Amino acid sequence: MANSCFSPHYNCALLTSAAFSLLMITLISGWPTSSAGAESHHEMVAAESDVAARAGLEVMKAGGNAVDAAVATSLVLGVTNAGSCGIGGGGFMLIYWAKSHRFYGLDYRERAPLAATPAMYLRDGKPVEELARSGPLAVAVPGELAGLEAARRRFGTMSFSALAAPAIELARNGFPITPHMAEDIDLTAGKISQDAGFRELYFDDSGAPLKAGAIAHNRKLAALITDLDNNPVGQFYRGKIAHQLVDYMHRRGGVLTLDDLAEYRPVWREPISIGYRGYQVYTMPPPSSGGVVLEILAMLAAGPIDRSPAGSPLYFAELIPLMRQGFIDRADYADPAYVKVPLTRLLSAKHIAEARAIALHHTGGPGITVAHDHGTSNFCVVDREGNVVVVTTTINTIFGAKMTIPELGLILNDEMDDFTVAPGVPNAFKLVQAAANQVAPGKRPLSSMSPIIVMRNGRPVLAAGGSGGPTIISGVVQVVLDELDFHLDPQRAVAQGRVHDQAAPDLVLVESNLPAETSEAISRMGYHVKRVPELGAVNTIAISPDQLQGAFDRRKGGGVAGD
Ligand code: DON
């Protein structure tokens, strides 16, 4: 099958560093991939990195389950896709556990430092958004390692150090810079080249950014992950690493403390779901925007969404106002520990009918370009027991706060920018957010990350998720519609041209791979249209009893590995 790696089966007991060194040669020799989709029968990983997908598959071939694979894949992504995610960030993990037929949601999103206040981003009484996007005040308390370890302890079967071995090997011995990573380095070179850690990682001796295909290393990160041994939480959140991190932040004017790290806890949350045209769609609850995806789908279910061809103007005429309405209602979403999110009302039949009725076309207003950004990573895993895991993980914008702890090889997130930094001030994704999402000590910022698992007749049929800030919400909705309503296979579903409307700015973004006539038709509907090269990236696995079909998104690159 396409895009799979497949060296002899590894025995669990043989998952030593040496075995993984061999594995890494196999992983890297498979790069780059030629096709965006693949099929298999037993187990599969679809990810934004071919090497990470293969590492996850190898873990399952060695006897690990989908959660084990998710831990290994996440850690590898933090090395190979370090512009998007890593242990300096955080994420969401949605799990379908086949044996119990139950869903679990793990929130390991970053939280605001306990000393954080909205005033932190004001200078002379005026908001300075940049402070939330780069430098020490942009950094929220990382949740990644605490989350991966909580998932592994509850569902995993392998030791943390065994699951960390592929990431350590790649960081220590080198990995090829993908075209996507090269683009991330280029796009941010002006800023990240100011940081000693980034200079060491991604620039050559003459100071030029590394190009696609060059071999990069992060030996300090390899040492850090090796030091975590089988106690990642103790070491990172309370041990020597915590002291190094906090000392460095203090010296640079940050507010993160040892207490922030010691008190960080991931949260198990009950996933939410709705019925959609014979399917049951599950996702993460707040502070995820999964509920917005559900609301858009529920509004669509009441209309003739599948009666016009996929990608046709009639389809977009139905989709765009409902997508826009979903984003308007997103204003009610925030960290549920701080704000009562009216989820039951928002997803009630009454509200869905009303929201559908008021989802009118809007006109007027200036167009603003939404940031083209790549700082998040999604992947889907299915194992041979039928367990399904979807992870979306992030350091927010490309290379997060554009700040490393050089001696740790650690790249820090800028997740504070996902808060409403000041009323009426848009964030990096031009989202003008509500008071519900204001900065408060210990609070988690609202996220667009929306991992999805779809059931039919009591069994999983689809896993999906994406990256790209708010275009995650619109991207996931459209790929789910393409698969469920238009019966496109994953590769075609992901490749379809997409649109995005987040209500403010008053603008419909239309991907340039959609025909010009389609964007002209959308414009004639009364929308301000802006054609953009591409929106966010989505990956997905379609699941049937004897077959798995997976696809990664060519917009960002990646891989599908299965057997
Ligand atoms: O959680 C969020 O909504 C953002 N931090 C996601 C950022 C993102 O997807 C960046 N682009 N790919």
pLDDT in tens, the chain (563 residues): 334 322 222 233 334 444 455 455 455 544 434 467 789 999 999 999 999 999 999 999 999 999 999 999 999 999 999 999 999 999 999 999 999 999 999 999 999 999 999 999 999 989 999 999 999 999 999 999 999 999 999 999 999 999 999 999 999 999 999 999 999 999 999 999 999 999 999 999 999 999 999 999 999 999 999 999 999 999 999 999 999 999 999 999 999 999 999 999 999 999 999 999 999 999 999 999 999 999 999 999 988 888 889 999 999 999 999 999 999 999 999 999 999 999 999 999 999 999 999 884 444 333 334 444 567 999 999 999 999 999 999 999 999 999 999 999 999 999 999 999 887 888 888 888 788 999 999 999 999 999 999 999 999 999 999 999 999 999 999 999 999 999 999 999 999 999 999 998 999 999 999 999 999 999 999 999 999 999 999 999 999 999 999 999 999 999 999 99
Residue 98's contacts (CB-CB under 8 Å, 6 or more residues apart) are 385, 386, 387, 388
Does 378 contact ligand 1 (Cβ within 6 A)?
Answer: no
* Parts of the chain belonging to CATH 3.60.20.40: 273-372+448-562
Does 374 contact ligand 1 (Cβ within 6 A)?
Answer: yes
Residue 77's contacts (CB-CB under 8 Å, 6 or more residues apart) are 47, 48, 49, 52, 84, 85, 86, 377, 379, 393
Pairing of strands 459-467, 452-456: antiparallel
Closest-CA residue, ligand 1 atom 6, reads 469
Q: Could you give the CA distance from residue 107 to residue 92 in angstroms, rounded to a whole number?
A: 5
* DSSP code, position 280: E
Token reading at 366 = 């200036």
Choosing from 415, 449, 502 the residue with most ligand 1 atoms within 8 A of its CB, the one to mutate for a pocket test is 449
Whether the upstream peptide bond of residue 142 has omega within 30° of 0, thus cis, is: no
Q: Which atom of ligand 1 is nearest to the CA of 448?
A: 3
pLDDT at 28: 53
Does 91 contact ligand 1 (Cβ within 6 A)?
Answer: no
Does 418 contact ligand 1 (Cβ within 6 A)?
Answer: yes
Q: Which atom of ligand 1 is nearest to the CA of 537?
A: 12
Closest-CA residue, ligand 1 atom 10, reads 375
Does 449 contact ligand 1 (Cβ within 6 A)?
Answer: yes
Q: Which atom of ligand 1 is nearest to the CA of 417?
A: 5
What pTM was computed for the model?
0.93
Please give the distance, rounded to the nearest whole angstrom, from the Cα atom of residue 415 to the centre of ligand 1. 8
Q: Which atom of ligand 1 is nearest to the CA of 536?
A: 12
Does 376 contact ligand 1 (Cβ within 6 A)?
Answer: yes
Is domain 273-372+448-562 annotated with CATH 3.60.20.40? yes
Does 467 contact ligand 1 (Cβ within 6 A)?
Answer: yes
Q: Do 94 and 151 meet the contact criterion of CB atoms below 8 Å apart?
A: no
Does 396 contact ligand 1 (Cβ within 6 A)?
Answer: yes
Residue 97's contacts (CB-CB under 8 Å, 6 or more residues apart) are 103, 104, 155, 387
376 is known as an active-site residue:
yes
pLDDT at 361: 46
Please give the distance, rounded to the nearest whole angstrom, from the Cα atom of residue 523 to the centre of ligand 1. 28
